[in-house]
């Protein structure tokens, strides 16, 4: 197929692709496929807050574009069940109520999320399987099995009015024997022979040379650790990593150990996987957490949550000795069978240190090969390009450097600069009979979720929280006469997180003098006297504390006129 070098006419753009999250960051994956009368959303994920997002629980995409075009939205397609692809679905369904299409395991976890938020009754969930195709308006979507660190992952072949677009989802190349352990390379190759307009491919590991380590190698390493451990085994994994949990069950069975699932998300995932036939638990092998005392230590394997150091996870509570039923014992071996996600390193290492102090042996990725990535390395990414042979290539899913490295990889394989579209969140990628190009860009953002508040925490609130965390707060309370402006009570200064109580006496007394000087200078007849006085007090105290102690606390003046 020949390549058209000039960009398509914006007025003749039958298909648009607009990433609303996930391009230039890890997490928050969400992408819009759009025609004149239809929008199809692929994935709707969250990300965990960055260090500066104090008090924020999770981050979800900005849905403004979706809400502005809600009448065109016909479906949400989910590629797999990781939180960075499904975590924001309940929030989106509060804005638009459209069918959700996903494979059985993914749908099982989504169903549980919606049930918790009392959204299930009015939601339409449609189960699909790899190899199946559906029609969403002008889009014909085929689901293709891919291997990832989760069961039931799929890529997508999307027939559009402009041509065939392949979306890999999160994937790696694997040919495992398990039903969820193989990527359907034959189908990707067949699509390539039919002609693919564009390939959208996972970029997470575009920096890493070679191939991912095989799951069999990881299984052998885990089996050796279990065989050589004298006491109980505690394995921390992602709850959705059913392939890894299946390995652990097989190892426990071979070594004659009983297995315990500890942590709500693990228990839910295992229950769904067993119901779907993705996991097999031999009869009598699983025991309750309360029964572990009935068995010798060397006959116990505990599969638990907390591989990322989550504060309320089971492993975190075990490490801090706040777990009601589990205490670390001298011969325990704890295996963290997952990678350290950027941003979580401090929390994870803190738990590792605590576990060591309690007497456990801890095995983690930096000292042993006990985890393999679910994302393709460079040779696998090259193979995907060779199989699909697209006219255009768009790297997706990853920080900007990952996208750049993936784009360079495509060019090293012979694709031209015009064929490689390095898009970011908000870019409008247009495909028409003329070809493909990034024609426009729009503002996209992030919505912060804090408790039950969605979107009510913005930059100003974060800035205030940062000031409070770094410099504390000084509260000024004062009562003045409304007619004369004379101080009747105060000013009283209370500080929190500012200076130690024993040190602040003279500092706050001098600050009182600063305030009284401002009150004395204020015009009692000025109708805006009160807001002006509050502003002047805030500015003057910030300058005073900055000069005297080189700190700038938040100043909160509370002035009452009587």
Which segments in the chain show pLDDT lower than 50? Answer: 1-5, 177, 179, 500, 502
pLDDT given for residue 64 in this prediction: 92
CA dist., res. 23 & res. 402, Å (int): 9
pLDDT given for residue 463 in this prediction: 63
Q: Which SS3 state, helix, strand or coil, does residue 425 take?
A: coil
Q: Which CATH number fits domain 472-561: 3.40.50.170, 2.60.120.330, 3.40.50.880, 3.10.20.580?
A: 3.10.20.580
Q: What is the tens place of the pLDDT at every residue in 337-363?
A: 887 766 677 888 899 999 999 999 999
Residues whose CB is less than 8 angstroms from the CB of residue 261 and which lie 6 or more positions away in sequence, other chains included: 267, 270, 286, 303, 304
pLDDT given for residue 443 in this prediction: 86
Q: Which CATH number fits domain 10-210+373-454: 1.10.10.10, 3.60.15.10, 2.40.170.20, 3.40.50.720?
A: 3.60.15.10
pLDDT given for residue 478 in this prediction: 86
Residues 215-363, CATH architecture = 3-Layer(aba) Sandwich (3.40)
Q: What residues does each domain of the chain span?
A: 10-210+373-454, 215-363, 472-561
CA 237, 240, 242, 245: dihedral to nearest 10 degrees?
20
Q: Are strands 435-441 and 39-44 parallel, antiparallel or unpaired?
A: unpaired
Residue from 26, 19, 23 nearest 42 by CA: 19
Q: Which helix (H) or strand (E) holds 369?
A: none
The DSSP annotation for 137-193 comes to TTEEEEEEE-BBSBTT-EEEEEEETTEEEEE--S-B--B-SSTTSB--HHHHHHHHH
Residues whose CB is less than 8 angstroms from the CB of residue 366 and which lie 6 or more positions away in sequence, other chains included: 340
pLDDT given for residue 372 in this prediction: 83
CA 543 to chain centre: 40
Q: Are strands 154-160 and 139-145 parallel, antiparallel or unpaired?
A: antiparallel
């Amino acid at each position: 197929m020949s390549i058209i070098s000039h960009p398509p006419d914006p007025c003749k753009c039958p298909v648009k692709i607009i990433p609303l999250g996930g391009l230039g960051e890890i997490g928050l994956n969400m992408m819009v496929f759009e025609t004149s009368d239809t929008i199809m959303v692929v994935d709707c994920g969250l990300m965990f807050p960055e260090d500066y997002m104090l008090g924020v629980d999770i981050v979800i995409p900005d849905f403004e574009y979706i809400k502005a075009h809600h009448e065109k939205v016909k479906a949400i397609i989910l590629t797999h069940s990781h939180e960075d692809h499904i975590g924001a679905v309940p929030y989106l369904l509060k804005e638009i109520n459209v069918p959700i299409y996903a494979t059985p395991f993914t749908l099982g976890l989504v169903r549980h999320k919606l049930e918790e938020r009392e959204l299930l009754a009015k939601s339409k969930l449609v189960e699909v399987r790899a190899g199946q195709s559906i029609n969403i308006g002008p889009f014909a979507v085929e689901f293709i099995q891919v291997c990832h660190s989760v069961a039931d992952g799929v890529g997508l072949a999307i027939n559009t009015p402009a041509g065939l677009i392949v979306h890999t989802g999160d994937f790696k190349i694997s040919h495992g024997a398990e039903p969820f352990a193989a990527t359907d390379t034959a189908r990707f190759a067949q699509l390539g022979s039919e002609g693919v307009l564009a390939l959208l491919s996972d970029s997470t590991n575009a920096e890493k040379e070679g191939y991912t380590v095989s799951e069999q190698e990881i299984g052998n390493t885990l089996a050796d650790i279990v065989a050589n451990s004298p006491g109980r085994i505690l394995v921390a994994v992602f709850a959705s990593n059913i392939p890894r949990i299946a390995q652990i069950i097989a190892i426990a069975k071979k070594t004659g150990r009983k297995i315990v699932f500890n942590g709500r998300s693990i228990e839910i995932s295992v229950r769904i996987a067993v119901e779907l036939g993705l996991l097999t638990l031999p009869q009598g092998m699983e025991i309750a957490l309360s029964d572990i005392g009935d068995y010798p230590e060397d006959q116990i394997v505990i599969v638990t949550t907390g591989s990322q150091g989550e504060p309320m996870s089971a492993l975190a509570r075990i490490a801090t000795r706040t777990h009601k039923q589990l205490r670390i014992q001298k011969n325990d071996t704890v295996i963290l069978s997952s990678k350290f996600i950027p941003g979580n390193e401090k929390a994870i290492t803190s738990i590792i240190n605590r576990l060591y102090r309690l007497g456990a042996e801890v095995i983690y990725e930096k000292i042993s090969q006990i985890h393999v990535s679910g994302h393709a390395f460079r040779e696998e990414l090259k193979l995907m390009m060779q199989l699909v042979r697209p006219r255009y290539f768009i790297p997706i899913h990853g920080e900007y450097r990952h996208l750049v490295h993936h784009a360079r990889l495509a060019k090293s394989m012979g694709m031209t600069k015009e064929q490689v579209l390095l898009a970011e969140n908000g870019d409008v990628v247009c495909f028409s009979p003329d070809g493909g190009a990034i024609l426009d860009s729009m503002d996209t953002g992030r919505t912060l979720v804090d408790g039950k508040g969605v979107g009510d925490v913005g930059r100003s609130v974060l800035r205030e929280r940062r000031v409070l965390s770094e410099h504390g707060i000084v509260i000024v309370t004062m009562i003045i006469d409304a007619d004369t402006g004379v101080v009747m009570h105060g000013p009283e200064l209370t500080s929190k997180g500012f200076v130690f109580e024993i040190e602040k006496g003279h500092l706050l007394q001098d600050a009182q003098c600063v305030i009284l000087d401002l009150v004395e200078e204020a015009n009692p007849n000025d109708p805006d006297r009160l807001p002006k006085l509050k502003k002047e007090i805030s500015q003057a105290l910030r300058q005073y504390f900055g000069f005297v102690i080189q700190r700038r606390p938040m100043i909160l003046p509370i002035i009452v006129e009587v």
